Each structure stands twice: as C-alpha cells, then as structure tokens.
Amino acid sequence: MRTLIIHNPCSGFSSDAIFEFERALLKSGDECLVKLVESHWRTDEVLSSVQPEDFDVVVLSGGDGTVSSLLYGLRGCQTPILVFPSGTANLLAANIGNAPEPNALALACRNLQTAQLDLGEITWTTVSGETHVAGVPLMAGTGLDAEIMRSAIPHKQTFGEAAYFTAALANLMPPVHDFKITVDGKVHELQGIGCLIANSSMMQAGIELAPGNRMNDGLLEVIVIETHMTAKLVRPLLSGFFDRTGDSLGRPYLNSFSGKEITVESTAPMPLEVNGEVTCHDIYAYSARCLPGACIFYSFVFVTFSQKDCT
C-alpha cells in the first residue's frame, strides 16, 4: 500500500500523533511519503508536488482550515482520503465520524470503509473587486460567527476549544444585519447577527445546528441567527445538549433553509470566516453551491448510514 501523508506541524498544539498513526499503519512492503507543509504554503503547490492520484491512501493531517483547503484541491480525486485530527477543534473529523485515536484510524485505512461525501464551494468579492473561491467541507459564516473566530485566534494555542467560548463572551452585542438570502431562486429577507453556510452543521459536543443536515445529501444549509444579542443563544445551546439532533426541541432563534445554490447579501459590510479561518477583509455578499460526492472519505459513520438507507 502506498500512502501519502500531508501534515501541517503548526496546527493545534503541534502534536506528533500523526507519526504514531504512521507506525501503526505501515506494514512490510508498504511505502509512505510524508509531506510537511511550510508556514506560508499554498494548496496548489503542495498537491502538484506529490501527485495524490499515484497513492492508495491520502492522509490530511492538520486543523479544520488546513484540511479544508487541501480537500478543495483534491475534489474529484479518486484516491480515498483520511482526515486525521491534528488541530484545535477538529470538527471536520468529528462530522465524518472518525475516532480521534491513531491506531483506530490506521485500522480504518486497512478496512477500506469509504463513502463519497459532498463539499461546499463559496465565492466572494472584496470591495476592491478581487474575487476569491474556497471549499467548505463544514461551515462558512458572516457576522457573529466570524467575529468569534477572529477574537479566538490569539488564544487558540493556549486554551484550545475554550478560546471560542471566551470569544463569544467578548461579543455580547454584535451588530444586527439585514440579510437578503436567495436559495435555489427563492428569496428570503431576514434580520440577524450572523448567517452561516453549512455542508454539515454539527458543532462541539455533537450538537447539530440544523436538524437533518448531512454531508451526503447533495444540499447546503443556510442558517440565520435571528436575535439581537449573543446571550440569547444560550437557549438553542441548552436545547442542543438535551436534544443533539434538534428533532424534538428544534433550534430557537436559528432559521434555516436547504438548497443547492445559495446567495447571501447584506446592507452593511460583514467579516467572513471560512472553515474557521477569518478573511482579512469585510464583504457585502457571497454565494455558495454544493459539489455532490466531491471526495471519497474513510468514514465508518457514513458507510453505516448508507447501508441502512439501502435496507
């Protein structure tokens, strides 16, 4: 078996668990290429230097931002991909359903349990006219979500996931935006402190922001936070602890719509975060679309769901 490991040593707490995974994975006769990305790496340069199609397994090791960028560059690649959690929150690995344990992940690669999952694609234009495109395996957001990510950046290395909660407390009265949202041609006008685009909406502790949103349904979810203050989000958060899927209690103050193509416009400039990384400029609008079955993942959870759906 030929394995390619792309690892960002600067992600999260700079753990060396990926090398424990490598030792557990390799057997006599196997080959493994480990590519360590540099501090100012570019996705196209990294992938063009290693030719992922020539390997049996591609392992992406890093935080959600690192892995998301690489996944977008690998869209359409027929080599199965393993997401190895080496970041702070590791929400992507959790959404795919992989255990955060090196030996278990090595065993998953040997068992070849794979599933084709969707990616989102987001496009935005800056005030100066520059157009940017990025992949969204998980979520992208404007307003409160981006402000929280921005405030958490200086503290992630020290406090880990707790940095996001302290950042939320520092943004108790965020600005309210007027959103014009177009979902597959249908227009919705709403007010709120934030708007999210989600390919999968499960956050920490397994709480789903939008019930029924899955990574293999061919749809994206747009979620508007319809409240004027951060403190009111305690209610949907508590309902999430008691009803993680949202089927019984719903999600108060969160309004969501599903679609293949989504456009979000605002009357005022907003910060934008994509996969946990905050852009360096505010924007007025962005569009997103779903790329169905864009990548092949090792995922016990989605393989199990697919088998159940077929019976």
Instruction: For residue range 132-151, list pLDDT tens digits in order.
Output: 999 999 999 998 888 887 77
State which amino acid sits at residue 245.
T
Overall average pLDDT of the 166-170 stretch: 71
Could you tell me where in the chain the CATH 2.60.200.40 domains are found? 119-292
278, β-bridge pairs: 273
| Domain 119-292, second-level architecture | Sandwich (2.60)
Residue with tokens 């349990």: 113
Tokens of 63: 């935080």
Over the Cα atoms of the chain, what is R_g?
19
At 193-230, the pLDDT tens digits run 999 999 988 776 677 788 788 899 999 999 999 887 77
* CA distances for 80 relative to 83, 109, 234, 257, 298, angstroms: 10, 9, 39, 31, 7
Instruction: List strand residue ranges (DSSP E) for the chain, in order.
Output: 2-7, 31-36, 57-62, 81-85, 114-125, 131-136, 139-143, 177-183, 186-192, 194-198, 220-225, 254-259, 261-270, 272-274, 277-278, 283-298
Contact assessment for residue 3 and residue 55, using Cβ atoms and an 8 Å cutoff? yes
Residue with tokens 């990510």: 149
State which amino acid sits at residue 39.
S
pTM above 0.75, yes or no: yes
Could you tell me where in the chain the CATH 3.40.50.10330 domains are found? 2-112
**Mean pLDDT (the chain, rounded):** 86
Task: Band the pLDDT of 241: cuts 50, 70, 90.
Answer: low
At 70-118, the pLDDT tens digits run 999 999 999 999 999 998 888 899 889 888 899 999 998 988 689 999 9
| Domain 2-112, second-level architecture | 3-Layer(aba) Sandwich (3.40)
